[in-house]
Copies of this chain bind each other. A is one copy, B any other.
Amino acid sequence: MENTRDRYPTRTQEALRMFPRLDPVVHTDEDRRWDGPLGEAEVEAFERDGFLFFPGFFGADEVAEFREELRRLEQEPSLRDWDGMVREPGSEEVRSVFAIHRPSISERLARLARDRRLLDRVQQLLASPTYIHQSRINYKPGFKGKGFNWHSDFETWHAEDGMPFMRAISCSIVLTDNHEFNGPLMLVPGSHRWFVPTVGETPEDNYRSSLKDQQVGVPDGDSLAALIREGGIEAAKGPAGSLLMFECNTLHASNANLSPDPRSNVFFVYNSVRNRPSGPFSAPKERPDFLAERSDFTALEPAD
Q: Are A260 and B221 in contact (CB under 8 A)?
A: yes
Contact mask A181-218 → B, CB, 8 Å, 1/0? 10000100000000000000000000000000000000
Q: CA A83 – CA B212 in complex, angstroms? A: 34
Q: Are A229 and B147 in contact (CB under 8 A)?
A: no
Interface stretch (choices A60-68, A88-96, A250-258, A269-277): A250-258
Of B186, B221, B259, which contacts A142 at CB under 8 A? Answer: B221
Q: CA A142 – CA B228 in complex, angstroms? A: 11
In the assembled complex, A224 has its CB within 8 A of some CB on chain B: yes
Contact mask A134-174 → B, CB, 8 Å, 1/0? 00000000110001011000000000000000000000000
Q: CA A253 – CA B259 in complex, angstroms? A: 10
Q: Are A180 and B147 in contact (CB under 8 A)?
A: no
Of B147, B256, B259, which contacts A233 at CB under 8 A? Answer: B259
* Chain B CB within 10 Å, residue with most, of A142, A150, A255: A255
Question: Which chain B positions have C-beta within 8 A of A256?
Answer: 147, 255-256
Q: CA A260 – CA B259 in complex, angstroms? A: 24
In the assembled complex, A225 has its CB within 8 A of some CB on chain B: yes
Q: CA A21 – CA B181 in complex, angstroms? A: 26
In the assembled complex, A85 has its CB within 8 A of some CB on chain B: no
Q: Are B147 and A255 in contact (CB under 8 A)?
A: yes
Q: CA A149 – CA B255 in complex, angstroms? A: 12
* Chain B CB within 10 Å, residue with most, of A180, A233, A258: A258
> Closest Cβ of chain B: how far from A36's Cβ, in Å?
34
Question: Which chain B positions have C-beta within 8 A of A127?
Answer: none
In the assembled complex, A235 has its CB within 8 A of some CB on chain B: yes
> Closest Cβ of chain B: how far from A194's Cβ, in Å?
15
Which residues of A are at the interface with B, using a C-beta cutoff of 8 A? Answer: 142-143, 147, 149-150, 180-181, 186, 221, 224-225, 228-229, 233, 235, 253, 255-256, 258-260
20 additional A-B residue pairs with CB within 8 Å, beyond A147-B258, A181-B186 = A142-B225, A143-B221, A143-B224, A143-B225, A147-B256, A149-B258, A150-B258, A180-B180, A180-B235, A181-B235, A186-B258, A221-B260, A224-B260, A225-B260, A228-B259, A228-B260, A229-B260, A233-B259, A255-B255, A255-B256
